[in-house]
Each structure stands twice: as C-alpha cells, then as structure tokens.
Amino acid sequence: MKSAQTDITRYLKQTSQEIEKELNKFSKEWNDYIGRDFPDLRQVNLKFTESFFGGKMLRGTLVKLGYELFAEKKANEIIKPAIAWEILHTALLIHDDIIDQSPLRRGKPAMHVARNKHYGISQAICAGDLGITIAVKLINESNFPIEIKKRATNYFLQIISDTILGEMLDVEISQMQQRTEEQIMNIHTMKTANYTIVGPLTLGGLLAGAGDSELEKIKLFGEPLGIAFQIQDDILGIFGDEKTVGKSITSDSEENKSTLLIMYALKHANQKQKKFLKQYYGKKKITDKQHEEIKKIFEQTGALSYSQNKIQTLTQQAKAIIPDITKEKSKQYLLNRLADLLIQRKK
C-alpha cells in the first residue's frame, strides 16, 4: 500500500518546482535590472534574491491549490501570484530575523548578518520592504480579469497588514510575565493561520472566481490547521534538531517567544520550576544545559502534551470542514493529506 502522504508530497514537489522555475526567471530579470541600473547594489541584491530559495515553497503551492479547488480549468498564470507570496514570505522572514535577533535562516546567515551590524540591519530592512512591494506588483501584473485581480490585491494587502499587526502584538505580549491562551491563539491566527494557510488558499480561490461562501469554508478549514501548524513550529523551535529546523533551537527561548508551551508551563510549574523559567526563558544567551532544563520543565508540567493534544484537536476540526469545501474525492484526499503533513513535519 502506498504511503498516505505520497500524493500530497508529489503535489508539493511538482508545484514547488514550477514555482522555483518561475522564481529563477524573475530573479534573473531582477538581478539584471539591478546590475544595470544600480551596480553598487549588485552584491546586497544577490543576497536578497538568493534568500528566495531554500524553503518548502508551501505558501506559493497553496496559492495554486486554492486556485485549482475552484477553477474550471488550469491556468499557468497562477504561478505569478504564487511566486508573489513566496517573495512576500522572504520579505517578512528578513524582518522577523531582525526582530528575533536570529543569526540563521534556512541554515545560512540571515540577511541582516554582516560585519558592520548597522549596515546589515539597514540593508535587510530595505530588502524586506522591497520584497513586499515587489510581491504586490507581481499580483497587479498577473493576467487575470481586472475586477478579480483588484479584489485579490486588496485581500493580499489586508493579509500583509494583519500579519504585521500580529507581529507587533507578539512583540508587545512577549514583554508580559503572564500570557493568556487567548492572546497566544490570537497571535497564531494573525501571524500564521491567515498568512500561511487561509491567505494563500483564499488568494488562489479569489483568482479562480470563488464566491464568499466558498471562501468562508476555506477560512474554517485553514484557521484551525494554521494554528496547529504554528504550535508544531513552536514545539520544533524547542525540541527540534537545529540542522533540520535550519535555525538556532535556543532562539525561541532567548526571544521570550509567546507559545502555548511557556504559557501552560508557567501556569502549572512548581515554585522551583517557575523561578527557573522566569530566570532563563527570555534570557539573551542561554547555555545548552539551561535549554535542556527548559525542555524538561515543559515535559514535566504537561506543557508539551497539552500542546500536542491541541494540535490533534485543531487538525480534526479542520478536517471536518473538507467535505464542505469540495465534493471531489481526489481533492478531499489531497486536503486531508495536506493537514497530516503539516502537523507531522520535522522542520
């Protein structure tokens, strides 16, 4: 019997290859433009365009999937909005790495890392801003009917706005000693669920001409799945392997990241455990020994189990909506396997 994930793995691989091909084409054109008109920016621009690659191309793939869920026929033009989302993703990661003070991204030095710290941060901020504007421009230039494209562009801008607000809220809440589950779920919805799952699928659906009722079902599917995706990401950020994850596994603790793990652990820790977490979770540089103790406390307090159970509950909630999204068995199967893949990932 073939693996239950073979089909979705193949779909993700094939689509990511299509996206990467188009992204390579765009990068070459963009690099030629910068090299010709702004030669002094050639090197920093190359670092910017190189950062487009190395990821899973998940969000771009979901733009294409969202289109295919509702379109009457396939269209190669959907790849342009797909690469727009991947460039947006790169831009927001560049900004995110500055905020998190993370030196690594996808196993390589982050965009802002340079011998001259102020130079590196300055150019990274500009590159991130540039990526956002390029992404919007690509959607505007795609060959879809004007009214549909206008609606899609407005939605894309709303997602960008909500994601930035979610990031600001995350930074704000990270300064608090006590964080509620409601606050964390709100951040997960704004920063991850809408941006990673609901948004790409909806953008594709909009470009296919999907109606409001159809898009509402995408939201009901994507929000719980996206939250589950983020909780899994937070678990990997503490318990994952640094080489596999592609970033420092102490960075979440060092930035005092707001997660279900820390919220639940603080709520259920004994006095000794609570004292340790308050001393070292959020400390700028922690040792491997301190990191291992944080992991142990997350396990002993039940925070890890609670987070894992929440993932399962949210995923089942998302799966229950799938028959309402599409009646085609092959597409239902694809969405089910997508949900499984997103929560079982190791990076």
C-beta neighbour count of 117 within 10 angstroms:
10
> In the numeric block, which tokens belong to residue 219?
């939201």
Closest CA to 280 of 289, 271, 267: 289
What integer pLDDT is reported at residue 331 of this predicted model? 92
Task: Note the pLDDT tens digit of each residue in 102-145.
Answer: 776 776 778 898 778 999 999 999 999 999 999 999 999 999 99
DSSP summary character for residue 115: S
The CATH number of residue 219's host domain is: 1.10.600.10
pLDDT tens per residue, range 247-298 = 677 888 888 889 999 999 999 999 999 999 999 998 888 999 999 999 999 9
Mean pLDDT of 214-219: 97
256 φ/ψ angles, rounded to the nearest 5 degrees: 60, 45
Q: Identify the band that residue 335 occupies on the pLDDT scale cut at 50, 70 and 90.
A: very high
Q: pLDDT value at position 72? A: 81
Residue 112: what residue type? H
Higher per-residue pLDDT: 224 or 174? 224
Query: Per the domain annotation, does 45 fall within a domain?
Result: yes
The Cα 130–Cα 57 span in angstroms is 19
Provide the domain count of the chain: 1
1 within domain boundaries = no
Q: Is it the case that residue 1 has pLDDT exceeding 60?
A: no
Looking at residue 246, its pLDDT comes to: 63
Structure tokens at 307: 């987070």
Task: Answer whether residue 162 is part of any domain.
Answer: yes
pLDDT more than 70, % of the chain: 96
Residue 280 domain-assigned (yes or no): yes
Domain limits for position 334? 6-344
| CB-based burial label for 299 (10 Å; 0-12, 13-18, 19+) | middle
Q: Establish if 76 belongs to a structural domain.
A: yes
Average pLDDT over residues 36-65: 95
The pLDDT of residue 247 is 66
DSSP string, 240-309: S-HHHHSS-TTHHHHTT---HHHHHHHHH--HHHHHHHHHHTT-SS--HHHHHHHHHHHHHTTHHHHHHH
pLDDT at residue 252, rounded to an integer: 83
pLDDT reported for residue 176: 80
Per-residue pLDDT tens digits for 174-193: 888 788 999 999 999 999 99
For the chain, what is the mean pLDDT? Answer: 92
Which has more confidence, 89 or 8?
89
pLDDT at residue 2, rounded to an integer: 37
Distance CA 97, CA 44 (A): 17
Which residues, other chains included, contact 107 with Cβ-Cβ below 8 Å and sequence gap of 6+? 54, 243, 246, 247
